[in-house]
Amino acid sequence: MNVKNRKFRGVFLLAVLMLVMTVMAGCGGNNNAAPSAEPNAAANATTEPAAEATAEPAADPVTVKLQLKWVPQAQFAGYFVAQDKGYYAEEGLKVEILPGGPDIVPEQQVAGGSADIGVDWVASLLTSQEQEMPLVQIAQIFQKSGLVLVSKKDAGISTPADLEGKKVGNWMGGNEFEILALFDKYKLDPNKDLNFTKQGFTMDQFLGGEIDAASAMTYNEYQVALESGIPAADLSVIDMNDEGVAMLEDNLFANKEWLAENKETAAKFVRASLKGWKEAIADPAAAVDSVMKLAEAGSTTKEHQLTMMNEVAKLILPEGFDPAKMGYTDAAAFQQTADIALKFGVIKTASKVDEAYTNEIVEMASK
């Protein structure tokens, strides 16, 4: 082959090679079509947060106002613990705990709309219901009565029958009905057979010997007597529970109209509150820390509140009581309270107990 032909062949082969490379480059572009989807996927990924940003914001917590019967103390520790531990917040609630006092009637506050849920004794609730306040009990916190009559051994009062001829004190104002039922059981006329007198809110009359037997709550006044230096062995105690004349005390009640539209909220509140009470019973010292943050400075001591907490626990969760039943209203105990209330004029007509309380909310809370 001559030189001219070799040059022509070389140019031809080069042209063919370039054509093949061009075709391969085109095929390579098609092979990259699948990976090229990655930028599109990334673009879609970047748009997803934007979609989330336009979603509805989390609902604001629902406000619930709780009206206490008295000032902050371990008697109400479960609610303070539920607040501090965030149990209410976990249920989507913002709970405002309103302190009570001598001039505050929880039933009036709830009936009037100043509070949504209240704490009081059942006898007081029955009175308010008879006055046609739209209230219903939604939980029973104390399963036993904390009321006792305490006397010094040298007063010679070993049984209720020994109260004859003695000076017996009570705070009155709605706190006396268990004591009156006790007198009635033992056929003692408070106007003839003994001196039934008004007792102050301290234990000074008892400690000073002005009264023979004083009314006392196991978690408060009885402890004051012990703290004053009187040994328990030198005291005699008459327990209303043992005598079968006990009336139910601390409960939770709500305005019927509010409850009709807020059952789920009420159940969430009860669930968180019972969780707070269980925590308080399990760790009394921590519960008292929650109480002391709210107690009026100088009004009490941590030691007294710790004793109160331990005694309150015995009323909420008595020995042998099923913890799963915390908060439930016992029909027999409620009926006994209503019967005593009727007999001694707390209410003038028999309570419609089937309308006075409900266990529906506690049952909802347990689910």
Judged against a pLDDT cut of 80, whether residue 5 lies above it is answered with no
Mean predicted confidence (pLDDT) in 103-130: 97
Examine the pLDDT at 20 and tell me if it is beyond 70: no
- The answer to whether the beta carbons of residues 123 and 310 sit under 8 Å apart is no
CA distance 245 to 337: 8
How many angstroms separate the Cα of 91 from the Cα of each of 62, 87, 210, 286?
Answer: 9, 7, 51, 22
- Per-residue confidence (pLDDT) for residue 54, from 0 to 100: 52
Average pLDDT value for the chain: 88
Asked whether residue 49 carries a pLDDT value surpassing 90, the answer given is: no
Whats the size of the chain, residue-wise? 367
SS3 102: coil
- Establish how many alpha carbons lie within 13 A of residue 145's alpha carbon, considering only the half-sphere containing its beta carbon: 27
Range 54-91 burial, b when 16+ CB lie within 10 A, else e: eeeeeeeebebbbbbbbbbbbbbbbbbbbbbbebbeeb
Q: Is the pLDDT of residue 334 over 60?
A: yes
Range name among 37-51, 100-114, 341-355 with the lowest pLDDT average? 37-51
DSSP state letter for 116: S
pLDDT tens-place string over residues 121-165: 999 999 999 999 999 999 999 999 999 999 999 999 999 999 999
Residue 58 pLDDT:
67
Given the structure tokens 């402890």, which residue do they identify?
223
pLDDT given for residue 174 in this prediction: 86
Strands 117-118 and 62-67: parallel
- Torsion, Cα of 294, 295, 296, 301 (10° steps): -140
Provide the edge-to-edge strand list for the sheet that holds 213-217: 195-198, 167-170, 213-217, 147-152, 235-239
Compute the chain's Rg from CA coordinates.
36
Q: What is the pLDDT of residue 306?
A: 98
Q: Please write the tens of the pLDDT for every residue from 194-226.
A: 999 999 989 999 999 999 999 999 999 999 999
User: How does pLDDT run across 177-195, given as a tens digit for each residue?
Assistant: 999 999 999 999 999 999 9
pTM to 2 decimals? 0.82
Tens-place pLDDT, residues 219-245? 999 999 999 999 999 999 999 999 999
Closest CA to 276 of 207, 365, 357: 365
* DSSP assignment string, 318-347: -TT--GGGTBPPPHHHHHHHHHHHHHTTSS
The whole-number average pLDDT for the span 101-123 is: 96
Question: Phi first, then psi: what are they for 43, rounded to 5°?
Answer: -60, -40
For β-strands 251-255 and 117-118, DSSP reports them as antiparallel
